[in-house]
Amino acid sequence: MTPVAVPEFQHRTVLLDEAVDALNLGGARADGIYIDGTFGRGGHSRLILSKLGANGRLFAFDKDLQAIATAGQIDDARFEIVHDSFATMRSALAARGVTQVDGILLDLGISSPQVDDAARGFSFRNDGPLDMRMDTTRGVSAAQWLAVETEQQLEKVIRDYGEERFAFQIAKAIVARRAVEPISSTRQLAAIVANAVKTREKGKDPATRTFQAIRIFINQELEDLAAGLSEAYAMLAPGARMVVISFHSLEDRIVKQFLASKAKVEQPDRRLPIRAVDLPQPLMKLVAKIKPSDAEVDANPRARSAVMRVAERLPSKGAQ
Same domain, 54 and 176: no
What global pTM score does this model have?
0.89
Q: Which residues are annotated as a binding site for S-adenosyl-L-methionine?
A: 42-44, 62, 86, 107, 114
Same domain, 268 and 293: yes
- pLDDT value at position 10? 54
Range of the domain at 208: 136-218
Domain final position from 170, 198, 218: 218
Same domain, 32 and 100: yes
pLDDT for 46-100, tens place per residue? 999 999 999 999 999 999 999 999 999 999 999 999 999 999 999 999 999 999 9
Contact (CB, 8 A) for 198 and 206: no
Same domain, 88 and 21: yes
Positions of E strands within 108-246:
236-246
| pLDDT for residue 3 is more than 70 | no
| pLDDT for residue 185 is more than 90 | yes
Q: How would you list the strands of the sheet with 284-290, edge to edge?
A: 79-83, 57-62, 33-36, 101-107, 236-246, 307-313, 284-290
Same domain, 153 and 191: yes
Same domain, 226 and 306: yes
**Amino acid found at 57:** R
Same domain, 260 and 304: yes
Q: End-to-end alpha-carbon separation of the chain, Å? A: 46
Give the total number of structural domains in the chain. 2
Torsion of CA 71, 111, 122, 208, to 10 degrees: 170
Q: Which residues are annotated as a binding site?
A: 42-44, 62, 86, 107, 114
The CATH number of residue 260's host domain is 3.40.50.150
Q: What's the CA angle centered on 60, arms 58 and 66, to 5 degrees?
A: 140
6 belongs to a structural domain: no
Same domain, 211 and 229: no
Non-local (6+) Cβ contacts of 302 within 8 A are: 12, 14, 112
- pLDDT value at position 11? 62
Domain final position from 195, 218, 241: 218
The mean pLDDT value for 107-124 works out to 79
Same domain, 206 and 241: no
Same domain, 213 and 236: no
3-state secondary structure of 113: helix
The CATH number of residue 193's host domain is 1.10.150.170
pLDDT for 229-260, tens place per residue? 999 999 999 999 999 999 999 999 999 999 99
5 belongs to a structural domain: no
The mean pLDDT value for 5-29 works out to 81
| pLDDT for residue 270 is more than 90 | no
Cα dihedral across residues 126, 127, 132, 136: positive or negative: negative
